[in-house]
Amino acid sequence: DAKTTQPNSMESNEEEPVHLPCNHSTISGTDYIHWYRQLPSQGPEYVIHGLTSNVNNRMASLAIAEDRKSSTLILHRATLRDAAVYYCILRARDDKIIFGKGTRLHILP
Amino acid sequence: DSGVTQTPKHLITATGQRVTLRCSPRSGDLSVYWYQQSLDQGLQFLIQYYNGEERAKGNILERFSAQQFPDLHSELNLSSLELGDSALYFCASSVAGGGDNYGYTFGSGTRLTVV
């Protein structure tokens, strides 16, 4: 499985944007970049995914570097409810999702 | 409510016993995935079923087995339980098992405590 590298933890202030980085220098041309998050005492939750182009949905935006060796999950306006562990995952088409350690995001009121 | 239902929510049992965890996937989803989450190991993929057939296997112990029934619900059987099997067990479902790149929908998990 291709590897991703994320910071262990990050802090952000409430109502400010949050940029969560992910490095994936060994990504292959067919790997999709997926992001999930896990709120305390809950199951993981799908956030967003993309292949080459930047993606937006109601939860977040995904910015993918031109060489695809890194990506950034952007939460436009963090709330206390966004405090969670965020997982950046590379997924080959048809392949299962393998979770790494993720980034624990703390939101400061 | 994610649409994926897991029962029971909590289970306490003794070492050496056998338990069955149940998962009902979201309506229309054909694939079911099982994950184990413990404090020291994080989220570990165990096994995937697609439309009743085993599709992929991860770090699943021989003491553990699973199946997916014709109505698409799945059961994870854990036998000869050890203290180290205490963990959260998550089930997830997705639309298909291949040829797609949809996200997974996870249930809220079953917390298993082995005493």
Tell whether A92 lies on the interface with B, counting CB pairs under 8 A: no
Over residues A9-19, mean pLDDT: 97
Tell whether A76 lies on the interface with B, counting CB pairs under 8 A: no
Q: For position A91, what pLDDT does the model report? A: 85
Dump pLDDT digits (tens) for A45-77: 999 999 998 999 999 999 999 999 999 999 999
Q: For position B71, what pLDDT does the model report? A: 95
Reported as type and span, the H/E element at residue B113 is strand B110-114
Dump pLDDT digits (tens) for B70-89: 999 999 999 999 999 999 99
Tell whether A93 lies on the interface with B, counting CB pairs under 8 A: yes
pLDDT band at B2 (very low <50, low <70, confident <90, very high): confident
DSSP A9-51: EEEEETTS-EEEEEE-TT--TTEEEEEEEE-TTS--EEEEEES
Chain A residues whose CB is inside 8 A of the B97 CB are 94
Burial A52-65 (b: 16+ CB within 10 A, else e): eeebeeeebbbbbe
Q: Do B48 and A99 touch (CB under 8 A)?
A: no
B106 φ, ψ (degrees, to nearest 5): -100, 150
Give the number of A-B residue pairs with CB atoms closer than 8 Å.
55
Whether the CB-CB separation of A9 and A86 falls below 8 Å is answered with no
